Structure formats: structure tokens, C-alpha cells
Structure 1
Amino acid sequence: MNLLTRSGREALPAHHVDFAELAKLETDLLEAAGGMEIFAEKLRSFFRSAIDEVIDTARTGRYFLSDLEKTEKTYLGTKFEILLRDWLQVPRGVLLDLLIGGKEVDVKSTTGGKSGWMIPPEAINQLCVLLRVNEVDATCAVGLIRARTEYLRSGVNRDAKTSISADGRRNIWWLALDFPYTPNFWTLIDAELREAIMAPRGGTARLATLFENCLEIPVSRVLIASIAAQDDFMKRIRRNGGARDILAPKGIAILYSEVDRDLMARLGLRFGSREFLSYRPRDDAEAAMLRAAGHID
């Protein structure tokens, strides 16, 4: 199943002046990511983990992107760049953010509307990866462009940065468009349940409350650490004293994508990289599958 095609991949036409160059950049980027399907799976959790890390619920008591200071929202762009470079395992360029397939590429991001990418002087006429995040509906976009002068607005701000014009956006090669990523967990539950999850003093009880009441909702590893609020947060999930001991007798499994990926796929679950979710079997066959894997009693 090609998740990216289903979610709005839009290549430029073959006659476009940038076609050959952006087609190669897409190929090189996907090769570094491990292929299109792995890219799609990791894209689901890429923005979620980055945003959750900056929100930092455990230490700040904040829950939403809107809670961040202006400087923190600006820093998110740097965070995305760093995590993308780590994900693709590519080096920095000499002048720009990434070196992909022997080409220097800049990374620009926005948490705004259809545009908002600020192009600095050094990135004009250069290859760029465009990242866009919409936390309201939990969709993202990844685009590729050569930021030619004719694609940009004529005006600049005090930092000599400009942006892509409305007409210039027609020259973006969309690797993913309106792609659904893992939403902010706290937007999916009401304040009463949020308080119930955070009320217990111990991390094990908090996680057990979460997973029992929020079946089939992906939760990032970053958020799990925030909710447990303990250095050894993974111990609060495992057997031998963790939340699994509380939920397994109730027939509820706690699954983790890095360990249970194949099982989760067989169950038809949607998840991203390094994400947890809880699941109650729908029939005897699923129950037997989960029991055999040691997830329920």
C-alpha cells in the first residue's frame, strides 16, 4: 500500500524545467530514508516527536503547540532540520543544511498556512526541502523546490529573507501533501480524562490509566516519558511491575512499534515510528495472537 501516493504525492510534469533535478532529489531522499513505505511510517511520528519534545509536558506542564513562546516556535524549524538530518543520516552541507546525493539542500519549515517558508539569501536559487505542519488537523506536507528568483516574492524582510509567491508554489514537487501524522494526544481527550491520567503520583498508574482509556490511539515515546515523569519510564510499561501487569489480565495489550511492528500491521493498526498504543482484541483469533505474543493473559 503506497501511503504517500494515497496522501497526495504530486510530482511536477516531465516538461518542467526542474523535473529532472527534483526527481533525482526525491529518489536520493527516499533512498536515505529507507524507501517510500518506511518514509511514510516515520513521517507519521516525525513531527509529533519533535513538537512533543519542545512542549516538554513533564517539566513545563504545557500540552499544546499554542502554549509555546514565540522563540520556541521559531526553534521548531531548527529542531525539524536536526531531526531530519539524523533520520536520513546525511551530513550538513558547506553552506546549506543537508548534503543529499552530492547536492547541498536547505530545509525550510512552517507551522502556518499554505506558505510561510522564509527563504534567506543563501538559499535563493538553491534546492530546498519544504516542511509544513498543521497541528489543528494533524496534517503535514513535504515539498521539494529549487528556489529560483522568479518563484519568490519581490519584497524582503529586515533579515533580507523573502518567501515563495502564490504563483511560485506551483513549482513545488510534493513528496507528501496533506499527509496525516500522529495528532497531539491531548487534543483527542477531554480535560477530565487528562486530569485523571495525570492525577496518580506514580508513573505506572498514570500509564495504566492512559492505555486503558485510550485504546488504539498512538502515543509518542516522548509523551510516554513526559507522562511517566521518571527517568526509567520504560520500566513503568513493562511486565514485572509495569502497566502491562495491570492491563494484561483485563485483556488489553500495550504494543510498541519498534518491537511489535509486524503484529500491529497484522491487526490493521496505523502507527508511526517509536509509538505505543493499547489494543483490546476484537475476536478469539486476535486474542490468541496477542496471548501467544505474551501481551495479554
Structure 2
Amino acid sequence: MGEGDQVQQLNFFTENTDQELDKVITFLKGIPNFERKLGRILRKSIDEVVNGRYTGRYSIEQLDKTEKTYIGTRVQHMLQHELDLPYGEVMDALVDGIEVDIKFTIGKNWTIPLEADGHICLLISADDNKSIFQAGCLRISSEVLNSGKNRDSKRTINAEGRELITWLVSNGSLPGNALLKLDPEVIKKVYSKKSGQERINELFRSCPGIVFNGAAIESVAMQKDSSKRVRDARNIWLKPEGISIYSGKYDNDKLLEKGLSPLEKDEFMSFYDLESETN
């Protein structure tokens, strides 16, 4: 049997006889705002493992191998909690009563354990640098896996298997990590400041019009009460320089008046405010 015939046979099986897979896909697609919820889950999972408040880190690339692996564990548990999915007896979760394994990667493929053979996997990947993610479902079998195994006997999905993934989100928008988009010289300048207050001041001074979420603020401040550093930057340090800091929690009405998009509750953005300079 040629590769084309094999793919055709697998497609026939998936499309015509796998009622459990259809139920899982229908259930997940039926979750209101599924793509947006999943994007937020991924953003929060990554930020929690990066742990910028205590480490000053802001990038997955700054993590060691064990920490990178742990992102997948956080994604699994947070996804089950946020989407109200019960724990499975064999696999990670029950989706509409069906055992489903949840697999996450920041790479280009997923590693599938032996015990997932015959079960459905919810496959999720994220690229923080590009602010995108994917999520899809696949029934695992030897036909959809590469023959090579790692030291834990896990195998990756082959080209034929990729063709069989039913994508729930093919090009999702991952809430951005603005620090990853900054010029390296700007990052260097911000982190060269000694105190958390000075770093926050420099961040908003150097990056007008850029939206920073709470995790980014914590990574720069490296303090528990990072929001106080923002308030002090806004009310004491930067106001005399004609710089205004807007908060999604309090200032969306002002942003709308200026014809700008509103921010999320934990987001902040600075502007060189001409009105402040003339008053």
C-alpha cells in the first residue's frame, strides 16, 4: 500500500467511523469563545512558568529544559479548570465523557506517550515570538506516529498524522508579550536601571503606544506590588515629562475619547500627552 492509499484509508476511518472523535470536536467547538479562552490560558500558563516577578525573565528562551516542559503541565491543569473538564481515569481529561490526552508544545511537533495509543489527543502548540497558537484533535495510532522513539519511548506525529488533525484553531491569536517585540537596546536600557521604579519609569518613557500586560510589568519591576510602581510612575515621575499612563482598569473611556482601542483590565500603555505638556 502506497503512502497516498494509507492516508486515504486513515481519512476514511477518521471521517466515517470515529464517532468519539466527532463528539470531542463538537463539544470543544461548542464552548463559547473557545479560541479567546484558550489564548488567555496559554498566555497565563507561559507567564506563570517564566515567573517574571521573582526572576526578571520575560521569554521562554530564558527557561531551562525542565521549566519548558512544565509549561505543558500548567496548560493542561489550567485548561481543565477554565473549561470545566473533569480529570480522566486513563488520560488527562474527560471531554463529553470521552478520555482525552492534552499535549502542548512550543516546538514543531508533539511527543506522544505509549499509553495514548488508541486515544484522542488535544494537540496545542504556541509560538510566543509570533503571538500565534494552534489547537486540534487527533486519534492516536501507530499509523500516525514516526517510528523513532526518545528515551521515554515517546514518538512524534508523522506527516500523514498531521494531515489527519482536525484543527479547532489553525491560526489563533496568542495575547502578546510586548517585551519580546522591543528593540534589544531598549530592553538593555530598561533592565540597566537599578530599582524597580526606575525600570518601570524607563519602560513607559521609552515605549509610548505599546501595550504591556501585568506579567510584563512584573518582569520589569521584579517586585510584589508592581502596580504601585506603575501608579507612582504615572502620578509622580513621568507626569512632569508630559507622559500619561493609561490603565485598562480605569482609563478605557479616555482611550475611546481619543479614538484608541480599549485595554484589558491588566494592561497599561503610555503616551507623550500633548495636553499635559501645554497645561
TM range (shorter): 0.7 to 0.9
- 1:157 alignment partner in structure 2: 150
Structure with the greater relative contact order (CA < 8 A, sep ≥ 6): 1 or 2? 1
Aligned residue number for residue 92 of structure 1 = 87
Q: CA deviation at 1:270?
A: 8.2
Deviates more, 1:207-216 or 1:226-235: 207-216
Q: Secondary structure at the match of 2:159?
A: coil
Q: Is the 8 A contact 1:216 1:269 kept in 2?
A: no
Aligned to 2:66: 71
Matched positions, count = 263
Unpaired runs of 5+ residues, structure 1, are: 1-11, 288-296
Inter-CA distance 260–122: structure 2 relative to 1 (3 Å threshold): farther
Equivalent residues in 2 for 1:136-285 (5 A)?
Answer: 136-238=129-231, 242-245=232-235, 246=237, 250=242, 252-256=244-248, 269=261, 275-278=266-269, 280=271
Quick one: distance in 2 between partners of 1:108 and 1:262?
40
Q: Percent identity?
A: 33
| 2:52 and 2:215 in contact (8 A); partners too | no
Deviation string 1:33-53 (CA, Å, 9 cap, x unpaired) is: xx12xx333444433332233
- Distance across 2 between alignment mates of 1:149 and 1:233: 50
Normalising by structure 2, what TM-score? 0.76
Q: Which amino acid is 2:27 matched to?
A: D
Specify whether residues 16 and 87 from structure 1 end up closer, same or farther in structure 2 by C-alpha distance, changes over 3 A only. Answer: same
Q: Distance in 2 between matches of 1:83 and 1:58?
A: 20
Stretches of structure 2 that go unaligned for 5 or more consecutive residues are 1-10
C-alpha change, 1:27 and 1:255, in structure 2 (3 Å) is farther
Q: Contact between 2:134 and 2:169, CA under 8 Å: does it hold in 1? A: yes
* 2: CA distance, partners of 1:168 / 1:81: 22
Aligned AA for 1:130? L
Distance (Å, rounded) in 2 between the aligned partners of 1:84 and 1:276: 22
Question: 1:290 matched to which residue of 2?
Answer: none
Shift in Å at residue 196 of structure 1?
A: 3.2
Q: Match for residue 28 of structure 1? A: 27
SS at match of 1:92: coil
Write the deviation string for residues 117-139 of structure 1: whole angstroms up to 9, x where unpaired: 11112211212111112234232
> Which is worse superposed, 123-132 or 190-199?
190-199
* SS of equivalent residue, structure 1 residue 237: helix
1:229-256 Cα shifts (integer Å, max 9, x gaps): 2222223334xxx333255673634233
Q: Rate the CA distance shift 1:126–1:60 in 2: closer, same or farther, 3 A.
A: same
Q: CA deviation at 1:72?
A: 1.7
- Counterpart Cα distance in 2 of 1:265 and 1:105: 43
> Secondary structure, in 3 states, of the residue corresponding to 2:74?
helix
User: How many Å apart are 1:62 and its aligned residue?
Assistant: 3.7
Q: Say which SS state the counterpart of residue 268 (structure 2) adopts.
A: strand
Higher alpha-carbon deviation: 148-157 or 135-144 = 148-157
How far residue 166 of structure 1 moved from its aligned partner, in angstroms, is: 0.5
* Alignment partner of 1:133 is 2:126: yes
Cα-to-partner distance string for 1:16-43 (whole Å, 9 max, x where unaligned):
13675445324433555xx12xx33344
1:250-295: CA deviation from partner (whole Å, max 9, x where unpaired): 3634233x67779878956487x66413154999xxx9xxxxxxxx
Distance in 2, Cα, partners of 1:124 & 1:263: 54
Structure 2 residue matching 1:93: 3-state secondary structure: coil
1:143–1:59: structure 2 CA closer, same or farther, 3 Å change rule? Answer: same
Q: Do structure 1's residue 111 and structure 2's residue 102 form an aligned pair?
A: no
Measured at CA, do residues 279 and 200 of structure 1 come closer, stay the same or move farther in structure 2, by a change above 3 Å? closer
After superposing the two structures, state which structure 1 stretch, 185-194 or 244-253, moved more.
244-253
The code of the aligned residue for 1:89 comes to D
Given that 1:45 and 1:274 are in contact with CA atoms closer than 8 Å, whether structure 2 keeps it comes out as: no
Superposition deviation, residue 142 in structure 1: 0.9
User: Is the Cα–Cα contact under 8 Å of residues 45 and 275 in structure 1 kept in the other structure?
Assistant: no
1:46 and 2:37 are equivalent in the alignment: no
- Give a deviation string over 1:148-192, Cα, whole Å, max 9, x none: 343223443332322221011111111112323234433311233
Alignment check: 8 A CA contact 1:29 1:88 kept? no
